[in-house]
Amino acid sequence: MKIGLVLSGGGIRGIAHLGVLKALKEKNIAITHITGTSAGAIAGALYANQVDPYDALKIFQNTRLLRLLKLAFGKPALLNLESSYKLFREYLPHDSFEQLKIPLTITATNFNNGKLAYFSHGENLIKKVLASCCIPGVFTPIVIDDNFYVDGGVLNNFPVEPLLSKCDYIIGSSCNHLSPIGGIRGIKHILERTATLSVNHDIEEKIKKVDLLIEPENLGNVGLFEINRAEEIYWIAHEKALKKLTEAGLS
């Protein structure tokens, strides 16, 4: 049976995907295809190259990825994501989709023509993963073939579509569940909740296309860059995934 896995975007909340992947590994569930956006593109690329999910968590914790990002002076954003290229080259040394152990498709938004791009073949894997993560206004757009690319979540934060014709069973991992609120805590709260509501706008329709959804409650309330909660997010998602996989009879 061909089992596909779709991984949403979500900033540091994407650490949840690593907990889900750890549960899949413990259950000996062989994933045959992966799609991902933004944080999901990073998690998917590392797993597709056989990096252990918990080791991937430690990469983020020990390197403090945001400290590696350089201020993008004179650029249309605050930070230059390409400065983290060397870090990812350590774990994706071939920099090629074809040399991954599991087929991977990631999304990015072509800022020039306003259309969604799917990347699944060829060289420059790392650059395309970074393009998928370029949150507009935070990270400088990535240039690929003379076009500017930003976060794939702008147009598709849960890219299940490439899996529909390839897989017999699809598992979805989403890290943006929002609970109702009773008040507003400030401008930061407004901006972050609005951003999460935006990427979740079509999630109800998207999840109808998966056979099993793993979505830990209330992770959407975690800030996009709260790296100090990485371990907590990882284990919350791991526990949720084990429960859902057991209930679904997958092992």
- DSSP symbols for 113-165: TTEEEEE-SSB-HHHHHHHHT--TTTBPPEEETTEEEEEGGGT-SS--GGGTT
| Domains of the chain listed by start with CATH number | 3-242 (3.40.1090.10)
Give residue 157's pLDDT: 94
Rounded-to-integer distance, Cα 170 and Cα 166, Å? 10
pTM for the full predicted model: 0.89
247: confidence class by pLDDT, cuts 50, 70, 90: very high
Q: Determine contact, residues 85/140, Cβ cutoff 8 Å.
A: no
Q: pLDDT averaged over the chain? A: 87
Residue 226: burial class (beta carbons within 10 Å; 0-12, 13-18, 19+): middle
The confidence score (pLDDT) of residue 63 equals 55
| Higher per-residue pLDDT: 226 or 244 | 244
On the question of pLDDT at 109 being above 80, the answer is yes
Active site residues: 38, 151
